[in-house]
Amino acid sequence: MRLTEFWRRLEEVLGPAYARSWATDHVLADLGGRTVVQAIDAGIDTVDIWRAVHADLELPAKER
């Protein structure tokens, strides 16, 4: 998944105004205690990051 696709999906779920803030501040256990932004900076694949976001937000299967 391209980074632009990841951000598009996150903005669809959380809204464009909140997505970046949430990605900067919210720590996800499935990302080793990192935020989304920290995980991106660490080079973690965006597919893995999206899976962690999907699980954390308990999104429906159709959002995978």
- Does any domain span residue 17? yes
Q: What is the pLDDT of residue 63?
A: 63
Look at residue 60 in the predicted model and tell me its pLDDT: 83
Cα separation, 4 vs 46, whole angstroms: 10
pLDDT in tens, 4-59: 999 999 999 999 999 999 999 999 999 999 999 999 999 999 999 999 999 999 98
What is the pLDDT, as a whole number, of residue 15? 96
Q: Is 26 part of any domain?
A: yes
Cβ atoms 41, 24 nearer than 8 A: no
Supply φ then ψ for residue 33, to 5 degrees.
Answer: 80, 25
Domain that holds residue 22: 3-58
Looking at per-residue pLDDT, the higher value among 63 and 19 belongs to 19
CA torsion angle for 64, 61, 44, 9 (degrees, to 10)?
Answer: 50
- Counting the structural domains of the chain, the total is 1
